[in-house]
Structure 1
């Protein structure tokens, strides 16, 4: 019998896959909140994401980069956006930052295969710039749909953009390592903010702080289970 992880991996869309007759979702209108689409599987969600044209990032991407990991992961890792390697390979955190993420997870007693990894926006911004507010809003239904399906007990936010998705204008340096309860899509979620691995690559002296934050994941999970 195949596992949820195997089924979702097999269902991942190839570059160029579209909605297969389901029709393009309603166009994005800036300032107008979108309802979160309802899906029964990650595969169905990823198929709809594959040809998304809801913002201008669609014009410069190689492919949409949806999340990866088991359907019922206890921990969800949330980054900012795909980089060049992710855009080429169609999977999140497969470049230098991804290799550091793997190391951080391993040091915390976790395997990459046991967590769900995704980004705030699923398309690479030109030149790896920070996603714009309108682009984040355009991608929000896709991220919220992933959160609904996975239902993680803990979301580890990497960097300012991921933290800002839940707490506007929050500073990572003030909240890093502190489990915080937030409201999103009518649900209470627990987040654990930390710095993005890319920031550590630029400033290696930040590594001990990020390792400390990742080391708290199991502690926070245990507390949530009580």
Structure 2
């Protein structure tokens, strides 16, 4: 099924944020590195961050700190990360004009749209506000709103509840196998973004959100 057909038969749309709606995994890794340096700790090892992709930011932070024998400094580290990431993301344009336009197009076409993310509210809200999305989205579920992050389906279940849409009528955009497992377990269809997700289990797959957004915009204009 083509993406426009998937969107057409869906009443609700839920986006993962980091690495999906926002093209920011490289920048986020840099933010972790900067936060470690700010706390006077050693920088990330090669491949350390990549091995933790798909987990929530608190889980990644805990693993990174425990690797350095500094697990008790989790709140200090997350505070530093929340200070560093939003401005860096906005400056780098990680949430691109095409992706923002795609979200607004969905809303204008009577779709209920939200975000389910393993990041912190303090990291995502300033970015959404910068692009005029904070007040337009129908829901925002962050790691603070659930007991367990992906692959636990709690976040997507809460997103469906807040959208007031049945899980089977929701289309999810995800970049991680943990997110895919969470959404799939609820019967949600999943469109994969990027190269780190299991394509055989996806309803569709795109290299970036911009590629998907460009296709939808092109179809609308044809």
Q: TM-score, normalised by structure 2?
A: 0.32
Q: TM-score, normalised by structure 1?
A: 0.32
Q: Which has the higher contact order (CA 8 A, sep 6+)?
A: 2
